[in-house]
Chain A
Amino acid sequence: MMKRYDPSRAVPGEDHRSRAGADRHQALRPAPDTLPASSLSVAEWTIGLMLLLFLFLPVLSLFLAVTPQRFVAAFGEDVVREALGLSLRTSLMALMVIVIFGTPLAHRLATGRPFPGRAAVEALLQLPWITPPAVAGLALLMAFGREGLVGRYLAEWGVALPFSTAAVVIAQAFEGSAFYVQSARQAFAAVDRQLTEVSRTLGAGPWRTFFRLELPTAMPGLVVGAAMAWARALGEFGATILFAGNMQGVTQTMPLAIYTVLERDLDAALTLAIVLILVGFGLLWLLSRLRQKLS
């Protein structure tokens, strides 16, 4: 008769020892897809750390240049408060404009049939990436200025856009829209076509399918795009100063205020800069959370 293995009879000590041995063996095994460190990786780390230090030092200096008391006190100054309020108002309005006009376009580009001139549309949507903001500001003046292509007709109706708060919103929307549309388009393109088709066969028309299925599915990507567009709008400088000017309380956003008060009130400039950096890091954190959710 053959002896069968019976776990209850196994010698406890022996069992324990063999398992510990297996553990040690596993701990020694290197991860399968990494090679041992070479002189290349050492060199890369050394040079790379220099870049990291180069990026980190200025940020650190900014925070060290102002004491917490003076940081808090700076919020009492009109120039800081007005710039903060104006930036918040204008950038959120720009974001609203971008989302309302950008979402339908992004969806169409992602799901619609190819059309003639598609390449030109793509290029136009990448314009803010490749042109300096100052060029955008000049272009906006040529279009909506008093003598501009559209501006002269607006002037006849008594509408003057340049050097107004509306101009700030326009400059910010111009610079931020590309970021939103690109991200939103990718998000819509990633929605499984089979799902939208099944939705249609189940009796949901194109509008219902868009609002109940595609929009919620693409939402993380839309939020990522909106955050990027908002960051871009908040940081907008060149187009704003050319097209909207630099008037405290009317068109002087945070970046413009930093530039303006730098020489006479360093604390105010530093305070605004720190607020912008904190908002930026807050957005980065939000984006990384969303990316995790996406993957």
Chain B
Amino acid sequence: MRNILAFDIHVPLSSFSLVVKGEAGRGVTAVLGPSGSGKTTLLRCLAGLTRPAAGWIRFRGRDLFSSADGVFIPPERRNVGYVPQQYALFPRLTVFGNVEYGLKARKVPARQRHSHVQNMLKKMGIERLASRTPGSLSGGEAQRVALARAMVLNPDYILLDEPLAALDPQTKQHIREFLRSVLKEASCPVFCVTHDLGDVRQLADRVMVLRQGRMVFEGRVEELEKEDSFVSSHISQT
């Protein structure tokens, strides 16, 4: 079975409902839309942090959520790589401890854990930060740690919520390129929520555009680019 994450969900929100259907395979899918369009809610549903009112979510044909069959797999049993907007690093743990957290929860033996973490830190270029605490990291460094913490578990799919929004413009460009190279290697579906068309152009292969809880466009990035008027009317370019 191919690595396809598919969903058809209905989530009532305070002023409208998120009603979306779609699927994504290997590669980066950008979820684009103005703030308050339901992007983050979609991501939370895929992560298992929000339970939709109705519909289904499947990975490789297996139900992660199905209202018809009463199935709801909680986040800890989904094998998801989730990076929230503010990175949410554990402040009391070191960088090493943060990356190790998920492996410990999965009862990986200490020796294997150690080498997994070391390799991941090396891959992310943050070995020298291993014993630092999150409070002492720059935005770009924190981003890499959060990504390492998610990717060390070899997740089935990766969810990034506004990965670049918290960074200053210079760091942003740098991290964007870094993200691009890391995500290219990942052989699983990656969902990247953003409201920045620049992110979409550089990072994504496909794009889903949300507006008021509905998916108003789904397709390749180049196709979106052709529809100039569409882009300007549906996306805030900040």
Contact surface of A with B, Cβ cutoff 8 Å:
192, 194-195, 197-206, 208, 213, 216-217
Contact = CB atoms under 8 A, between A and B. Distances in A.
Nearest to B152: A202
Contacts of A205: 74, 76, 105
Contacts of B77: 203
B75 to A, nearest CB: 4
Contacts of B92: 216-217
Interface stretch (B51-59, B82-90, B222-230): B82-90
A195 B90 contact: yes
A34 B56 CA distance: 61
A199 B101 contact: yes
A192 B81 CA distance: 19
Given A197-B47, A197-B49, A203-B77, 16 more contacts: A195-B90, A198-B82, A199-B101, A200-B48, A201-B75, A202-B105, A203-B79, A203-B102, A203-B105, A203-B106, A203-B153, A204-B76, A205-B74, A208-B105, A213-B90, A216-B92
A203 B102 CA distance: 6
B75 A197 contact: yes
B86 A201 contact: no
Contacts of A200: 48-49, 74-76
Nearest to A202: B102
A78 B211 CA distance: 79
A196 to B, nearest CB: 9
27 contacts: A194-B84, A194-B86, A194-B88, A197-B82, A197-B88, A199-B90, A199-B101, A200-B48, A200-B49, A200-B75, A201-B47, A201-B76, A202-B76, A202-B102, A202-B105, A202-B150, A202-B153, A203-B76, A203-B79, A203-B105, A204-B101, A204-B105, A205-B76, A205-B105, A208-B105, A216-B92, A217-B92
B95 to A, nearest CB: 15
A204 to B, nearest CB: 4
A86 to B, nearest CB: 39
Nearest to B83: A198
Contact of B80 (A194, A195, A199, A201): A201
A28 to B, nearest CB: 36
Contacts of B101: 199, 202, 204
Nearest to A194: B88
A103 B160 CA distance: 34
A199 B74 CA distance: 12
B10 interface: no
B149 interface: yes
Contacts of A213: 90
Contacts of A199: 90, 101, 105
A222 to B, nearest CB: 15
B78 interface: yes
- Which A-B residue pairs are the 4 nearest by beta carbons? A202-B102, A194-B88, A204-B105, A201-B82
A128 to B, nearest CB: 33
A213 B79 CA distance: 19
Contacts of B75: 197, 200-201
Contacts of A216: 92
Contacts of B102: 202-204
A194 B47 CA distance: 13
A152 to B, nearest CB: 45
A203 B101 CA distance: 9
Most buried by B among A192, A194, A201, A205: A201
Contacts of A201: 47-49, 75-76, 78, 80-82, 150
A205 B88 CA distance: 17
A197 B86 CA distance: 12
A198 B84 contact: yes
Nearest to B47: A201
A87 B76 CA distance: 46
Contacts of B105: 199, 202-205, 208
Contacts of A197: 47, 49, 75, 82, 84, 88
A205 B48 CA distance: 12
Contacts of A198: 82, 84, 88, 90
A201 B81 CA distance: 7
Most buried by A among B75, B102, B153: B75
A65 B78 CA distance: 69
A198 B149 CA distance: 10
Nearest to B90: A195
A205 to B, nearest CB: 5
B104 to A, nearest CB: 8
Contacts of A217: 92
Contacts of B149: 202
Interface string B141-181: 00000000110010000000000000000000000000000
A195 B90 CA distance: 7
Nearest to B44: A197
Most buried by B among A197, A202, A213, A216: A202
